[in-house]
Amino acid sequence: MGRGSGIVLIGVLCCVASVPIVGAEESVQALTNQAMEECQKGRRAKDAESRGVHFDRGRTLAEKAVELNSQSADAQFSLFCNIGERMRANGEVFFSVFDYGRMMDALDQTLVLNPNHLDALSSKGTILIEVPEFLGGDDAKGEVMLRKVIKEEPTSINARMVVARQCAERGEHQEAYELSKQALDLAKQQQRDDLLPEAEKTFSEIKTKLMAH
C-alpha cells in the first residue's frame, strides 16, 4: 500500500468513527431535553404521585445522557434537577446519602464543565446560602453567585427571591423589597405556578418589614 492509500484509509476510518459520535451527541441532547422537560412537568404537577413519576422518569433519562457523555454540562444539570426536585418533593427527608452525593456531584460537575451555567450557578448559590456553615454553607459566596445570575439573566426568579431574603436579614429593606417585587412580577408574567406561592410569600413578608421601618 502506498503512502497516498494510507492517507485515504485514515480518512475513511475517521469518517466512520465520527458517525456514531455525532449520533451520540444528538442522543445526548435529546435525552437531556427530555429530562429537563420531565423536571419542569414535575415542578408543575399538582399531586405528589405525579411529581414523583416525572422526576423518576427524568432522572432515568438524565442518567442515560450522562452515561453517553459525562462531559455535557447540560446533561449533568438535568440529572441534578431531577434528583434535587425528587428530594424536595419528598420533603427532603426520605432520601439516601448516595442520592444527595449524586445530586451534588452532578451540580459541581456542571459548573466545572461550564462555570457560567446560570441555572447551575443559581442552584449552587441557593444551596450555599440555605445549607448551614458546618455542612459547607457560605452565605457570601452564594450571594455572589446569585447576583451574577441576576445581572446576566433578567428573568431569573429564584435568585432574586433568595438575595431579597438575604438583604432583608441585613436590614437592607429597600433592595429586598425591589428584588422580591421583581421576582413576584416575573413569576406572574411567566405563569410559574411552581414558584408563585413562594414569590408571594417572600414579597409579603419583606413588604411588611419595610412598612415597619
The DSSP code sequence of 145-201 is HHHHHHHH-TT-SHHHHHHHHHHHHTT-HHHHHHHHHHHHHHHHHTT-TTTHHHHHH
Residue 100 contacts by C-beta under 8 Å, 6 or more apart in sequence? 87
Total-model pTM? 0.80
Q: Using one digit for the tens of pLDDT, what is the confidence trace for 72-124?
A: 999 999 999 999 998 887 665 555 678 888 999 999 999 999 999 999 999 99
Q: Using one digit for the tens of pLDDT, what is the confidence trace for 48-61?
A: 889 999 999 999 99
In the chain the domains, ranked by start, together with CATH numbers, are 1-115 (no CATH), 119-213 (1.25.40)
Chain centre to alpha carbon of residue 138: 18
Q: Using one digit for the tens of pLDDT, what is the confidence trace for 129-179?
A: 998 888 789 999 999 999 999 999 999 999 999 999 999 999 999 999 999
